[in-house]
Structure 1
């Protein structure tokens, strides 16, 4: 490990293991991180495909962030979150920096500029731990502008402990956050369906499935090339669909696209 496994670290990990499945786990688990790295938010959630996140517990440094970032995230903004959208962590889980898993144009996307940076956050590290029933446990540690981005040494230190921290997270969430039975009527529609329905019903615009899919990917921070790879089409084909999308909506920029559909994703 990057850090020697000191007696203090062993005791903190033992405390976390003893607290798995109990109301004490969150604070004990957070304390292990606090002793090694500074952060402005510490969130623990469960992700399930096509369902809103389940907030298990959270800590946000009081009166430091702008607006109501947690409420906005839980209501709708999670649909743009690269951690929520990342569905293929390895079997044992992983620890990632936001930049490691974000789409190629994420940092110029309107979500990042308006929502993420607008709250006063500048960087994020997250753990993603697959659960036995198919869900994913997630812990997010965000840094504020005043704290600056994470440094390489800090991340190397956390990576050394990652296997233990991921296992503890998975065990706790398996115990306290079982998957809810699927409720088809309450499940969120696919982003492309929501986009097409809104365009048809509210704007009087008929979008093709491909145009709606591209709209969703662009909003999440994908370039034409990245979206084309995900959809298995040629990059030029993706450009044509995007031009047609903008023409139908009478817009000319990603910012305008974000304004039209941000509440749907």
Structure 2
């Protein structure tokens, strides 16, 4: 065990109960594997995620920092895993992402615009409806995480989770920010009601899998039907919504979030389409300039 690792473990333990604990955890993880960016957020079922700390290079990101929290988080594989009730553990993006994730509009419009090639999440369940999510990331300038990184982090996991439990016990906050709750209710309403005036319930189920990066084959598996049936549903969705690409579908979904009625049943697409174009809200994703994705470096020195 290296001197740097021992020192980082001691600093994390000493920081329990203080605002410095989250940075101390990221510093500890950085002693066992190379990290380009990372942070900590709290996932909630009843409100949007709450960011606690986020380390990143703003020069590598073409999107505003709040773009993720404005709605796209609901399409994130890690958030979806949390919402499905996954247990506390370590989750590597390559293991949890849908099979078409890297070809999805969510990846192209969001992930590629924030300069990421890979991520590992340490999710600690606070309770059934809340979880602390510690995430570390690799830039597209560097190679993705390797198996040895997962092994090294797994060795620290019991210590980090025990530390998280004690930290939570000492600092638990009972308040919720109204803006977080309202945003999440709008996102949830969009998921439940988007295009409900035009599509069948089954078509809307297929639609959500489409924008989340699932292939027709994997969607068929999840919905217990055939790939051919899913392809027919996809074709009908494009025809009924008068769109011709995944990009148009993703953009339409994101743009409808501000028009959703929290806890209501109205189709936000109807409200969006009935609003004059000059008065329509522009999402944070659309407002940001696009950058060309650099080529990923496949080899990274071990001493980097």
Which of the five TM-score ranges fits, normalised by the shorter chain?
A: 0.7 to 0.9
Q: Is the Cα–Cα contact under 8 Å of residues 56 and 177 in structure 1 kept in the other structure? A: no
Count of aligned pairs: 250
With 63-72 and 75-84 compared, the bigger mean Cα shift is at 63-72
TM-aligned CA distance change 1:220 to 1:151, over 3 Å? same
Counterpart of 1:35?
A: 31
Q: Is the Cα–Cα contact under 8 Å of residues 98 and 214 in structure 2 kept in the other structure? A: yes
SS in structure 2 of the partner of residue 89 of structure 1: coil
Of 129, 154, 157, 1:159 maps to 154
CA distance in 2, matches of 1:109, 1:190: 22
Deviation of the 1:64 alpha carbon: 3.4
Q: Is the Cα–Cα contact under 8 Å of residues 63 and 113 in structure 2 kept in the other structure? A: no
Counterpart of 2:5?
A: 9
SS in structure 2 of the partner of residue 103 of structure 1: coil
**CA RMSD, aligned part only?**
2.6
TM-aligned CA distance change 1:244 to 1:79, over 3 Å? same
Q: Is the Cα–Cα contact under 8 Å of residues 137 and 170 in structure 1 kept in the other structure? A: no
With 162-171 and 238-247 compared, the bigger mean Cα shift is at 162-171
Counterpart of 2:238?
A: 246
Counterpart of 1:65?
A: 60
Of 107, 125, 130, 1:130 maps to 125
Q: Is the Cα–Cα contact under 8 Å of residues 76 and 264 in structure 1 kept in the other structure? A: no
1:105-154 CA distance string (max 9 Å, x none): 11110111222112221111111111136311101111112232123322
TM-score, with length taken from structure 2:
0.73
Instruction: Give unpaired runs (5+ residues) of structure 2.
Output: 258-304
Deviation of the 1:166 alpha carbon: 2.9
Of 204, 207, 210, 2:199 maps to 207
Deviation of the 1:50 alpha carbon: 4.6
Counterpart of 1:203?
A: none
Counterpart of 1:169?
A: 164
Instruction: Give unpaired runs (5+ residues) of structure 1.
Output: 201-205
Deviation of the 1:101 alpha carbon: 0.7
